[in-house]
Structure 1
């Protein structure tokens, strides 16, 4: 949105010096300099800019909210798993304590399975948009940096600088969300191991239930051994390392263009 507003710096500056500048490159087959016509065109351009910006924002916003929701549900699941052993130990019944632990553990594992399925659906839904966002970012960053470099300290270069910063911020946020989600999912195996199951077995007198507890913990850990990553059509993983790679490639393209110039 700030990038869109930066396109109006030049028209506002022109008003103070008696000139009529348009925010975007337009070919108008009539004289638009009279105030009523010029004001109408500026308002229409602003409306079109808002429409374009909100469409661009909406896709990233939906993706970010979905990832944040997924991450938050995994955080709640982790807390319940870590507190599972302590909650069951409060029952203080050596005969049924292991069975109680197993029943609650099965419920948490089922939630874990559903969250993994949701994460896989999320990845399949957004894998193409992520591919487009990340794949063309190096090219866009290169062109924005080159245009800002060519314009120097002119007023017209403000929009390129802000657009460049917005694009870098988008890449960093996407990479951060991808890294956090992957780390959260991959760390569930360790979370199950830290659930306090050994304390339950130590206090329980039911050997069959104890054996079942160890089998359930083993299966829960094995289920979460498969790594999860948001990808761009399988060509790359969406993470901070990929973001740094895109920025480095954009820098290489920019250096090449400057040398050719």
Structure 2
């Protein structure tokens, strides 16, 4: 007897929601016909409807046909959505997965009025679009079974890691905002490459591939950055000269401060809304 397919409603089907839906189908965890995608403008989901997904602008109808509900709206839109869903949520049946920044599991239960609601938070990043997301998963009360299921779902679009819920805002800064930080570093490296003689498109390709290689060294060899840095630096060499100049200009300090600033802002987005 085959397992019961996952039946999902993805509310707010933007880039993250659509990437997750496609990842689940591609991995065979469920079929397109078992996923309902919602968006205020259903016309924007027409290609997905043609691919077999259910599409609607009616969030209440979407959760009625689902066991797993993915909340993928902006923090400022969440309370209105939860008010809309409250009467249709069944704590015994529905598992809520929130990818909304800065909103705790308790916030969601409190807003819906369901104290027993099962809520898991997940924080992917935009690399989810190419199945390379770093997704952090957490909850304050969900079971290991629920957390394991959410990890399995997000493993279809990258790599997931389970963390404590109090670290989810920090995860937003390091992993979600972090995509932009590393892209800016690559962009700066490519500009340096152009300044020393390469055409812009060549410099960007060279910088991006070099960054990818650096990350792969750490992930595949399970080493520390400094171990790999030591392999590139020789006494009185050009690498250490460049590294030291960057440190004199505040490279590491700027990145650390940027991550800390993003973490503070991420924690206030929901409350500001």
Based on CA coordinates, which of the two structures has the bigger radius of gyration? 1
Question: Higher relative CO (CA 8 A, sep ≥ 6), structure 1 or 2?
Answer: 1
TM-score (norm 2): 0.25
Greater percentage in helix: 1
Greater per-residue strand proportion: 2
> What is the TM-score with the length of structure 1 in the denominator?
0.26
